[in-house]
Amino acid sequence: MNALLFERPVWFATGPLILEEEAQEMEDYTYHQPVLVAEVLELLAPRAGSLVVDATCGGGGHSAAILGTGADILALDQDPDAIRHATEQLEKFGGRVTIRQSNFRYADKVFDELGIHSIGGALLDLGVSSRQLENAERGFSMMRNGPLDMRMDPWHQSTTAAEIVNNYTEEQLTRLFRELGEEPAARRIAALIVKTRKTSPFHDTIPLVRVIEKVVGRHGRRHPATLVFQALRMEVNDELGALEQGLQALTSRLEIGARIGVISFHSLEDRIVKNFFRDRSREWNDRPEWPEPKRNPDFCLSTVTQKPVEPTIDEQRTNPRSRSAKLRVAEKIA
Ligand SMILES: C[S@@+](CC[C@H](N)C(=O)[O-])C[C@H]1O[C@@H](n2cnc3c(N)ncnc32)[C@H](O)[C@@H]1O
């Protein structure tokens, strides 16, 4: 069993109850369980011998499942530690797997370097992996103290969560927590952060958790720092910007008939994916002020999932991380 399970989470020292998310985070220490695997295989429908891009390979769970269908894999992840781990996990597939450390927003560059002109499918499984969450040193954990970092790619990114928390104005922090975190207490949390940092700048995760707890208290099933941590992580890694660019880069290389699937965990991500697919699956654009409809220059996709596919109740029970997962798939047609 993973030795981390025996570490005493910092919060246990003061808190009366273990919250559901904390229990989940503890469970997650041991492994990353990929979500919606059966649905991905069915809807992505990879063809044996084709090359599928797993743009967020993480622990390699989805890659291994896709390799099981006979398709080959180009596995990308921006996190060097995930790349090390996936390399070990996927070693047994030998030359059928190519692994590269890259943000998927730069997938074009990787394709060009490898001489890849077209791909037989692509998968993006967004967010963080349990492995990233488990390592306090990465700064994603709300339970264990570590540097307030949150960079998925420490080799190429310079801005950490600490820099944001210590340098953004109160208005910028409020907007960040409100827009990316959808945190109802955004303004009050930002105000207390700004007041606190005047005498004690933030370097570690748990002092920030304490400040958030002071504002919102501890009640309900969700850890009080969830939304603020989510917002900071998304800002540090420019997750929405990367998603827009990555969708474009991957879709443009899809072969006709090949599919792209995206698993998102956040409503803003899901909206970007929904709009991206919708805007490219209309052959004609029309506006009341136009005399006639115009051909849509971006038309190249057909939406496979009219509504997002969600995990079964069984999966939600056995893999709580899957609860907010939404899978959308589209097929290249032109
Ligand atoms: C939820 S995990 C993926 C888990 C994986 N599907 C599996 O089965 O183990 C998300 C992964 O995506 C990576 N990631 C997030 N945003 C990325 C981006 N813009 N480019 C490349 N990798 C990214 C993270 O580093 C993380 O390892």
Average of pLDDT values for 295-320? 96
Sign of CA dihedral 40, 44, 47, 49: negative
Q: Give the position, in ligand 1's atom list, of the atom nearest the Cα of 246.
A: 19
Tokens of 83: 């790349």
Residue 2 has pLDDT above 70, yes or no: no
The CA 237 to ligand 1 mean position distance, Å, reads 12
Q: What pLDDT, in 10s, does the model give residues 173-225?
A: 999 999 999 999 999 999 999 999 999 999 999 999 999 999 999 877 889 99
| Contact call for residues 270 and 264 (beta carbons, < 8 A) | yes
Between the CA of 45 and the centroid of ligand 1 the distance, in Å, is 21
Ligand 1 center from residue 152 Cα (angstroms): 9
The model's pLDDT over 240-284, given as tens digits with 9 standing for 90+, comes to 999 999 999 999 999 999 999 999 999 999 999 999 999 999 999
More confident call, 318 vs 219: 318
Residue nearest (by alpha carbon) to ligand 1 atom 14: 56
Q: What pLDDT band is residue 7 in, cutting at 50, 70 and 90?
A: very low
Q: Among the atoms of ligand 1, which is closest to the Cα of residue 57?
A: 5
Q: Mean pLDDT for the chain?
A: 91
Order of strands across the sheet with 254-264? 97-101, 72-77, 51-54, 119-125, 254-264, 326-332, 301-303
Query: What is the CB < 6 Å shell around ligand 1?
Result: 32, 34, 56-62, 76-79, 82, 103-105, 125, 127-129, 152, 242
Out of 129-143, 192-206, 262-276, 301-315, least confident range: 129-143
What whole-number percentage of the chain has pLDDT above 90? Answer: 87
Whose tokens are 């038309």? That residue is 299
Q: How far apart are CA 121 and CA 316, in angstroms?
A: 26
For residue range 41-100, what is the model confidence (pLDDT) as tens digits? 999 999 999 999 999 999 999 999 999 999 999 999 999 999 999 999 999 999 999 999
Q: CB count, 10 Å around CB of 118?
A: 14
Minimum CA distance residue for ligand 1 atom 22: 77
Indicate if the pLDDT at residue 14 is higher than 70: no
Q: 37 CA to middle of ligand 1, Å?
A: 15
Ligand 1 atom nearest to 123, measured from its CA:
6
Distance of CA 283 to the CA centre of its chain: 30
Q: How far is the CA of 125 from the centre of ligand 1 (A)?
A: 6
Q: What count of other Cβ atoms lies within 10 Å of the Cβ of residue 30?
A: 13
Minimal-distance CA residue to ligand 1 atom 5: 58
Residue 104 CA to residue 299 CA, distance in Å, equals 22
Ligand 1 atom showing the smallest separation from residue 79 Cα: 25
Q: What is the rounded CA–CA span in Å between residue 184 and residue 227?
A: 9
Looking at ligand 1, which residue's alpha carbon is closest to its atom 20?
Answer: 103
Q: Identify the band that residue 313 occupies on the pLDDT scale cut at 50, 70 and 90.
A: very high
Nearest CA-CA partner of 160 in 173, 149, 176: 149
For a substitution probing ligand 1, which of 28, 77, 87 has the most ligand atoms within 8 Å of its CB? Answer: 77
What pLDDT, on the 0 to 100 scale, is given for residue 21? 52
Return the best residue to mutate from 31, 32, 124, 129 for the ligand 1 pocket (most ligand atoms within 8 A of CB).
129
Residue entry with tokens 């990233």 = 132
Nearest atom in ligand 1 to the alpha carbon of residue 63 is: 8
Strand blocks (E) in the chain: 51-54, 72-77, 97-101, 119-125, 254-264, 284-285, 294-295, 301-303, 326-332
